[in-house]
Amino acid sequence: MRCSIPIFQTEVSVANVQILSDAAETLFQPHKGELMNHLSHAETVASVVGAAFTILAFIAVVIAAVMSWKSAKKQEELQLEVARKMELQLEVSRNQIIAPMRQAWMNKLREKISSFIGRSLELRGNSTAMKPIDSTKLRELSEIKEEIILLLNDGESDHDAIAQEVVAISEAIGRAGDDQRALGNAHARLRAMTQKVLKQEQEGTKKMGLFRRIYG
């Protein structure tokens, strides 16, 4: 009797399980197709959601790349702007140094040309065939001529023309027989040449001043 009780209980349990299984199958059988559809729909939704997350991730990567490129471009533009401002500031500083030097050079050239013309007129007016030119004053004129030549830029046509005219006048002063009118014409040419060069330099100095006022 003690051995038959467990066997009976086991047989009853198995029978109960089978009954429950059959009942469940009977219960869900009419809804099996609907359940399968729900499962299929859930898988589809999961696939769509996965694809959506993939697309969003791609878009995020693209946006990050674009933002990074824009940031790098902005940084480059800022660096170029800083470099441009530094270059302008250097140019302003350069003009502040050079402009006064150019003005001083113009004043010096104007002074020396004026002195040369005045001294040559004096020497030519005081000299005659019977009265030779004062050698001391002629040497002073020669010194002024050399100072003028050293002020000029060798190789620039306008400057070379002034130098040649100054040399020609200096040589003409030493020749007592030269025509006074020819000397006057030479002086007129020298004045015109000098005024041309001074005007060019003055315009350049004005541009420097304008540049300094705008960007300084």
Same domain, 127 and 206: yes
Q: Is residue 208 part of a domain?
A: yes
CATH number, position 178: 1.20.120
Whether residue 51 is found in the same domain as residue 96: no
Write out the two tokens for 160.
């070379």
Q: Grade residue 168 by pLDDT with cuts at 50, 70 and 90.
A: very high
Looking at the structure, do residues 152 and 117 belong to the same domain, yes or no? yes
Q: pLDDT-based confidence at 4, cuts 50/70/90?
A: very low
Residue 40, domain member (yes or no): yes
If asked whether residues 59 and 97 sit together in one domain, one would say no
More confident residue, 196 or 99: 196
Which is higher by pLDDT, 121 or 91? 121
Domain count, the chain: 2
Same domain, 95 and 200: yes
**Entry pTM:** 0.56
Same domain, 100 and 142: yes
pLDDT score for 89: 75
Mean pLDDT over residues 43-70, rounded?
A: 84
**Among 66, 100, 118, which residue terminates a domain?**
66
Q: Are residues 137 and 196 in the same domain?
A: yes
**Tens digit of each residue's pLDDT (9 = 90 or more) over 59-92:** 888 898 888 888 888 888 888 888 888 877 777 7
Q: Are residues 60 and 97 in the same domain?
A: no
Domain co-membership, 41 together with 96: no
State which residues form the domain around 203.
89-215
Residue 3, pLDDT score: 46
Query: What pLDDT score does 167 carry?
Result: 95
